[in-house]
Amino acid sequence: MEALTAAKVVRRVRKRIEVSQEGLARLLNATKGAVQHWERGRNNPDLARLNALRQLCPPGAERKDLDSLIKQTQSRLAPLPDIKPGDLKAGESGSAGTIGIPGGSFIYLRRENHKLQRQVTRLESLVQRRTEQLRILEDLATELQREMAKLRATHEVAAPAAVASVSTPTQE
């Protein structure tokens, strides 16, 4: 079995959902250049973007590969410590003042969680703005349809009157 790389997985998923690099960049709130770098193996997408990509990917082999990549990324970013239940006593803490876990994993997880929460907040505000823009466009389209209907009605009323005035002979 070939090695699982982010470049191959991102490209396969993008092809599976049938979007361009630019389209994928828009969906993941990234730049086209970032997607290009991911697919070339220069950089790897962050965990939040991998999870967002997973939401877009339909079930299948690509999604399984993506799940594996997400697990691999999670284990690389925040490895779970090898602690047995009896190893730590109550009140004992590891390095950097973490809560019972050596290596500062909880602090790192809190930071990552905070980053993800900020990104979710940004995405939610973007969705709200886009929804408002869509509503405005729909209102404008409705107004244009009304105006067109009025113009057609006026044109239809004016056309028979013009035809009637031309067809009736004038008496002098």
**pLDDT single digits (tens) 3-60:** 678 899 999 999 999 999 999 999 999 999 999 999 999 999 998 999 999 999 899 9
Whole-number mean pLDDT of the chain?
81
Both tokens of residue 64?
């399984």
Query: Closest Cα partner for 29 from 41, 42, 12, 46?
Result: 46
**Burial degree of 74 (CB within 10 A; 0-12, 13-18, 19+):** middle
Q: What is the pLDDT of residue 113?
A: 86
Amino acid at 92: E
Q: What does DSSP assign to residue 97?
A: G
**pLDDT reading at 88 higher than 70:** no
Q: Quickly list H helices, the chain.
A: 6-16, 21-27, 32-40, 47-56, 61-77, 105-167
